[in-house]
Amino acid sequence: MERAADRLDYPVCVSSPASSVPTVQRNDDSFASVWDEIVWRGLVHVSTSETEIRELLSGAPITYYCGFDPTAPSLHLGNLVQLLLMRRLQLAGHKPLGLVGGSTGLIGDPKPTAERVLNTPDVVAEWVGYLQGQVSRFLSFEGDNRARLVNNLDWTSPLTAIDFLRDIGKHFRVGTMLKKDAVSARLNSDAGISYTEFSYQILQALDFRELYRQYDCVLQTGGSDQWGNLTSGIDLIRRSESATVHAIGTPLITNSDGTKFGKSEGNAVWLDPALTSPYAMYQFWLNTDDADVIDRLKIFTFLDRASIEQLAEVVASEPFRRQAQRTLAFEVTSLVHGVEATESAIAASAALFGQGDLADLDAGTIAAAMAELPSAEATSGTTVAQALVDSGLTKSMGESRRAIAQGGVYLNNVSVRDDQATLHGAGLASGHAVLRRGKKTLAAILVN
């Protein structure tokens, strides 16, 4: 978590405009083409012909797409990789299609270990609307290369089962389908795989063909774990349309220690502020390891190459400044939630550590910040010494009294000197009080 002192020299090193995804072409002379840029940024793990994709992206505008399934009420950081890649290609002049899968969301792509829980059509339809709103924030719907939103339920719902089997299924070979990584993993698991999820790759292939037919879409992007589904669409278009299309698979992002990126005790970092607050998102990026921060800046920000390389030099020479982490946290949280929410998160972080007035923060910001701290409940008559024990900041009342006597305990940033002092009147707008021991050990106390 950020220390107050870390905010005092915050670098003026943000994208323009810093408050949103760039809305105009950003030319970086470091790269000969947008293909070279996305390769440098580490966004290409696997692809079809590199030569042909480079030519496509360097020529006249093409139409490309990425799909997002409504298997949850929000997108997460893994999806953000795709959204920002889509925006980079649009900034280079190409035409994006943002597909939210009203039909594929009813099925769900196969997970490696077990069947998905199928959501009701009403729930999926509601989530489609949520995801369309999130996708829309990262694309431009103006100009000659304006984005379009599409829903695959529009072309799959009119299909009968016979139409699906005769017109689509005939182009697929079971042996090839069985070799797809996701299918193979499930076949070798105790759970096996249902025909429902086995058929998912056919539905995604149908999407690519339909977008090829309607919009002349010739490129699909997605995570490398979706490569089998991406290539199914390429094969279907080759067989049924005698045409060549392409795909780019982005890497699955992991931390330098091999752990899965964006997961904390099984919880994703969501783009919806109701699920992951701007404060929590800012702190997530702020805690990025030195070994990972430059790669994250390449993928998740629109900073140019020179700015990122300058930050890399600071990481190497003065890692204690954490300038790259603060820049990353500001940039990405601003992209997702806007500058105002990000500045509120920064103000909350500073106030928690004594570099601001907690009373100036709104109740929502305080509540979001408190949710990230160890916590305990107490009545207003509870002593500060007891609250220290209840919150885990000390192990005993004796330790609490010694900490207070030494001047190392603060309640809402006010030094506590009396070991009989209570929490009376300490509740902030959210009903919480901030208890601090030393410079950076905090707890939230909900004062009842």
Pair 130, 219 in one domain: yes
CATH of the domain at 340: 1.10.240.10
Domain boundary residue among 250, 280, 310?
A: 250
Residues counted in the chain: 448
Distance CA 402, CA 208 (A): 68
Pair 316, 387 in one domain: no
Contact 94, 145 (CB under 8 A): yes
Range of the domain at 158: 43-250
Residue 208's pLDDT is what?
A: 98
Pair 243, 106 in one domain: yes
pLDDT value at 16 more than 70: no
Residue 426's pLDDT is what?
A: 82
Closest CA to 199 of 165, 222, 223, 227: 165
Domain assignment present for 1:
no
Pair 272, 379 in one domain: no
Contact 358, 366 (CB under 8 A): yes
Q: pLDDT grade, residue 6 (50/70/90)?
A: very low
pLDDT in tens, 404-441: 999 999 999 999 999 999 998 887 777 888 999 988 89
Q: How far apart are the first and last CA of the chain?
A: 27
Mean pLDDT, the chain, integer: 88
Pair 217, 294 in one domain: no
Pair 79, 215 in one domain: yes
pLDDT value at 172 more than 80: yes
Pair 377, 287 in one domain: no
Distance CA 201, CA 111 (A): 13
Question: Mean pLDDT over residues 113-122, rounded?
Answer: 87
Considering only residues 375 and 264, tell me which one the structure prediction assigns the higher pLDDT: 375
Residue 13's pLDDT is what?
A: 30
pLDDT value at 10 more than 50: no
Residue 204's pLDDT is what?
A: 94
β-strands 414-415, 441-447 pairing? unpaired
Residue 72's pLDDT is what?
A: 93
Helix, strand, coil percentages, rounded to 5, for the chain: 45, 15, 40
Domain boundary residue among 222, 250, 278?
A: 250
Pair 377, 348 in one domain: no
Domain tally for the chain? 3
Domain assignment present for 84:
yes
Domain assignment present for 88:
yes
Distance CA 69, CA 103 (A): 9
Pair 185, 114 in one domain: yes
CATH of the domain at 396: 3.10.290.10
Residue 27's pLDDT is what?
A: 57
Pair 270, 408 in one domain: no
CATH of the domain at 153: 3.40.50.620
Domain assignment present for 32:
no
Residue 112's pLDDT is what?
A: 74
Helix residue spans in 10-114 (DSSP H): 34-40, 50-58, 77-91
Domain assignment present for 324:
yes
407 φψ region: left (φ > 0), alpha (ψ -120 to 50), beta (else): left
| Cα R_g (the chain), whole angstroms | 25
Contact 276, 269 (CB under 8 A): yes
Number of H helices, E strands in the chain: 19, 13
pLDDT value at 89 more than 60: yes
- The residue type found at 323 is Q
Q: pLDDT grade, residue 148 (50/70/90)?
A: very high
pLDDT value at 9 more than 50: no
Distance CA 429, CA 33 (A): 52
Instruction: Please report, for residues 11, 104, 168, 169, the alpha-carbon distance to residue 236 in angstroms, rounded to integers and kept in the order given.
Output: 50, 17, 8, 10
Domain assignment present for 255:
no
Quote the percentage of the chain above a pLDDT of 70: 92
Domain assignment present for 34:
no
Cross-strand pairs, 100: 68, 151
Pair 395, 323 in one domain: no
Residue 335's pLDDT is what?
A: 96
Domain assignment present for 23:
no
Q: Which residues contact 331 (CB under 8 A, 6 or more apart)?
A: 14, 15, 18, 297, 300, 301, 302, 303
Question: Mean pLDDT over residues 78-89, rounded?
Answer: 97
Pair 309, 205 in one domain: no
Q: Which range among 44-48, 272-276, 362-366 shows the weakest confidence by mean pLDDT?
A: 362-366
pLDDT in tens, 235-253: 999 999 999 999 999 998 8
Considering only residues 19 and 170, tell me which one the structure prediction assigns the higher pLDDT: 170
Residue with tokens 């509601």: 126
pLDDT value at 344 more than 80: yes
Distance CA 49, CA 105 (A): 30
Domain boundary residue among 303, 328, 360?
A: 360
